Amino acid sequence: MRVTSEAEQCLAALPQFHGIPTGVLLRIVKLKTGLIVTSRWTAIALIQSNPCPIPVPNPTQAAAQILGEKLLP
């Protein structure tokens, strides 16, 4: 699968993928489609064409883990 420069610009503008590291996107594609891709843009295009839920941590929990704090129930 090839991603043109025009498509790359469109994919780069999608804010929902900005905070996800490239390695995570590549692993999601491998798990969901069985394909091994090496490009972030190809991975995003495949995720867009084959929708799958992407687990995203709760921002409050993520911030607490970074700070080493325990959350109160």
pLDDT at 51 over 60: yes
Residue spans of the domains in the chain: they are: 5-67
Measured CA to CA, the distance from residue 70 to residue 26 in angstroms comes to: 31
Asked whether the beta carbons of 65 and 23 are under 8 A apart, the reply is: no
The model scores a pTM over 0.85: no
> By mean pLDDT, which of 41-45, 57-61, 67-71 is the weakest?
67-71
Question: Whole-angstrom Cα distance, residue 12 to residue 9?
Answer: 5
Give the whole-number percent of the chain exceeding pLDDT 70. Answer: 68
Report how far residue 9's alpha carbon sits from residue 70's, in angstroms, rounded to the nearest whole number.
40
**What average pLDDT score do residues 12-34 get?**
85
Element (H, E) at 6: helix 5-12
